[in-house]
Amino acid sequence: MTTHARPRAIAGGLLDRPMIWLLALFGIAEAVISYRFLAGIGSVSNMNDGYTWGIWEPVNVVVFTGIGAGAYSVGLLCYLLNRGKYHPLIRPAVLLAAIAYSLGGASIVVALGRPWNMYLLALPPLWNLSSVLLEVAVCVVAYVCVLWIELLPAVFDDAAGSASRVRSAWGKRWGGRLAKAMPYVIALAMLLPTMHQSSLGGLMIVAGPKLHPLWHTTLLPLLALVSCMSMGLGAVVVLTAVMKHTWSARHDNELLADMSKVNGLLLLLFVALRLGDIAFQGKLHLLAVPDFYLMVFVLELALFLFPAFLFLTRRVQQNRARVLGALLTVVGCSLWRIDAFLTCYNAGESWSYWPSLGEIAVTVGMAAFGVAVFIAVSKIFPVVEVGDPAAIRAGHEADLRSLRTRPATPPGTSNPSRPRSPR
Amino acid sequence: MLVSRRLLLQGAAVAGASTVLPGKAQARGKVEPLEEAVGMLYDSTHCVGCGGCVAACKEANGLPWDEPTDLSNTTRSIVKTRRLAVPLRNGEASAFVKRQCMHCVDPSCVSVCMLGALHKEGQGKRDMGGERKGTGIVLYDEDLCLGCRYCQIACAFAIPRFEWREAFPHIVKCELCRKRADPTREGALGVANPACCQVCPAGALVYGRRVDLLAEARRRMAAEPARYNGKIFGEKDGGGTQALYLAAAGVTFKELGFPDLPDGSYANASESASHAPYLNGVAPIALYAVAAYLVRRNKKAQEGAERPEEPRK
């Protein structure tokens, strides 16, 4: 590990120009949302009885949480498969996940017709245990809590490094206590996404004849689970690349090369499962019908296979094209999710749907708010690993030179109070 | 190779097997029609398309007359004219079909409803008042509805409607006029009394117990075999429905706008696939225990490696 690299708060004021833009987008979304609560969902959206979820569920929930699955997939690698070197990625991934899942949950509140009844979800005797959506809802709420708890060490670390003795003692005490409980929290963070990500896919099984047979399969839960791992890893790689460019965040070439390999295999697994299932169910003849759905299917397949090919090419693993691969992975998995929930869903002859400006404004505004929160939290709390720029450059070169022999971080040598890396 | 391929494949295989295999072994089972279930029989060959049933439904449910062309948030029942691909022998180029909630034997909407707002009468999470078990009527309880609209996704017949322009919206669908029941009467009229069936002047719409309606449908088909297409829609389709349909010879139910459904219900397929891996709650607990053990062990090892000179207190 590069010397002195540990999570630090990013330097710079909070309200810079990008932040103002992001908040402006969120402001527009807020205006639309306020109007929706006064005049009904139909007043701001093109949703109808046929396409009743519009883009809010397929994108804001199913895609956002897929992007947030980075905490799950990196966590699996780091904690379950014991690859400790992934540790530097955990905090940013968890922050991304906490934000993405929270926004997914917030979007649900906007999309629900009767949200004032939501408190009833807290009463287990009322639960209809047959409902796949109930399982998703309860599990996602629980997971959002787990994710924010997983971020608490950043808050305690920040306090522990504080100049104030009281604050520092407080941070150390509670940080220590939380550290003891952490394995059990992390285990929950491994279990819950396994449950709700597969259930998210399972949501559409019941749609039966309304979903195109190339997408409708009882394998939907498994496909959704595998795709969330891919998508999550892809999102983390993209995030790392963006943070490297904007904040000179630490950037471990070897780690990213490894993740690319894993992701390549996951993508191939997804494609194998999907094609195998189609063949097994005797649906291959559908691939001979040249229609819109086949086009979408081929596009999806390309967006899975091309990144897989990139990831499994040794040269690409080491160069920048892997970021392209990661980006395409996120796009491909998102496309598959949106298709299974919307594009290839057909409620009947009497309906058509295209999202309204209001719907798009809400989706974009929510995403913008997510980015804004990520930036703000990274600037206040130690989440992202940055060294000073010179050390990073040196470290980067060292990484390239000796890919496998990295010295362990000397302990306790760099714990200054609220370090701010100079711009 | 840093993350070994073997480990990864093992993990994937275990995850896959635990999702798929028990799914086959643990189906939740087929739901059989209730003995006393009530429903309606619609005979398309007798319908004259007068729309009396639509008007009666509006009146009975206090809904405004707005010249409906389809089900909507103000229309629980509708008669549609369907153009036929091939004209019938008598020259008829279209056929009528009445649509309303099918009151499925194993309804998808009930299966997916988070808190049981949509439920079979007397089998929900709470009693809305005067509910009788065994009628099989699918009722809507607004106090348990979150407005998630998953019922609309789930319903193969695209029946439930939503009040899109309301700040406090409801799901709207036929409840078989349970409120018009006459409790002093014996039999089917004691549990519900659909206004549509009461006013039909052509004998196209009959209310009664499902078993009686099935017998009536068979009687009609036996009496005039050339008149009908030979199938009772809803007898088995999608696990069976309590609204049953007859259509003229030469007309398919697909032409009338019905989906092509397997004999099993999608509620069963979905619940079995989604819930079976849980092995009645054993799987999550086992998974959690294994995860907790591994995380604890690995985390300790990793921290030990990272801070060799700083033993944890």
Judged by a CB distance cut-off of 8 A, whether residue A305 touches chain B is no
CB–CB contacts below 8 A, A to B: 252
B160 and B297 share one domain: no
Judged by a CB distance cut-off of 8 A, whether residue A272 touches chain B is no
Whether residue A37 lies inside any domain: the answer is yes
pLDDT tens-digit profile of A101-115? 999 999 999 999 999
Whether residue B12 lies inside any domain: the answer is no
B253 and B285 share one domain: no
Q: How many CB atoms lie under 10 A from the CB of residue A173? A: 13
CA distance readout (Å), B97 to A215, B80, B88, B101, B254: 31, 5, 16, 13, 11
pLDDT tens-digit profile of A69-104? 999 999 999 988 888 888 888 999 999 999 999 999
pLDDT number for residue A3: 41
pLDDT number for residue A9: 87
Distance CA A288, CA A269 (A): 23
Chain B residue whose CA is closest to A134? B114
B114 and B171 share one domain: yes
pLDDT number for residue B88: 84
A183 and B15: CB-CB below 8 Å? Answer: no
B179 and B292 share one domain: no
Q: Which residues of chain B make contact with A108, given a CB cutoff of 8 A?
A: 148
Distance CA B48, CA B96 (A): 7
B298 and B231 share one domain: no
Contacts of B192 (CB under 8 A, 6+ apart): B38, B135, B137, B176, B177, B178, B180, B181, B207
Judged by a CB distance cut-off of 8 A, whether residue A308 touches chain B is no
B128 and B182 share one domain: yes
Whether residue A141 lies inside any domain: the answer is yes
Distance CA A54, CA A46 (A): 7
* Domains in chain A, number: 1
Contacts of A167 (CB under 8 A, 6+ apart): A159
Alpha-carbon torsion B103, B105, B111, B117, what sign? positive
Whether residue B61 lies inside any domain: the answer is yes
What residue numbers bound the domain in which B143 lies? 38-264
Residue A390 reports pLDDT greater than 90: no
pLDDT number for residue B226: 93
B302 and A112: CB-CB below 8 Å? Answer: no
Give the CATH number for residue B166.
3.30.70.20
CA distance readout (Å), B6 to A272, A307, B2, B302: 17, 21, 11, 21
Paired sense of beta strands B94-99 and B78-83, if any:
antiparallel
Q: Is residue B26 helix, strand or coil?
A: coil
pLDDT number for residue B193: 96
CA distance readout (Å), B33 to A82, A285, B9, B104: 53, 36, 45, 9
B99 and B141 share one domain: yes
What region does A11 belong to: left with phi over 0, alpha with psi -120 to 50, or beta?
A: beta
ipTM of this complex? 0.86
Judged by a CB distance cut-off of 8 A, whether residue B127 touches chain A is no
Residue A409 reports pLDDT greater than 60: no
pLDDT number for residue A84: 82
Whether residue A85 lies inside any domain: the answer is yes
pLDDT tens-digit profile of A116-132? 999 999 999 999 999 99
pLDDT tens-digit profile of A278-297? 999 999 999 999 999 999 99
B143 and B289 share one domain: no
Distance CA A67, CA A225 (A): 12
Whether residue A416 lies inside any domain: the answer is no
What residue numbers bound the domain in which A286 lies? 9-398
Whether residue B224 lies inside any domain: the answer is yes
B183 and B306 share one domain: no
* Domains in chain B, number: 2
Whether residue A348 lies inside any domain: the answer is yes
B180 and B308 share one domain: no
B177 and B228 share one domain: yes
Return averaged pLDDT per consecutive 10 residues of chain B, 313 residues in all: 47 49 56 94 96 96 94 96 87 93 97 96 89 94 96 96 96 96 91 96 95 97 95 96 96 94 93 84 91 88 64 43
B169 and B290 share one domain: no
Whether residue B187 lies inside any domain: the answer is yes
Q: Which residues of chain B make contact with A85, given a CB cutoff of 8 A?
A: 2
Whether residue B272 lies inside any domain: the answer is no
Judged by a CB distance cut-off of 8 A, whether residue A136 touches chain B is no
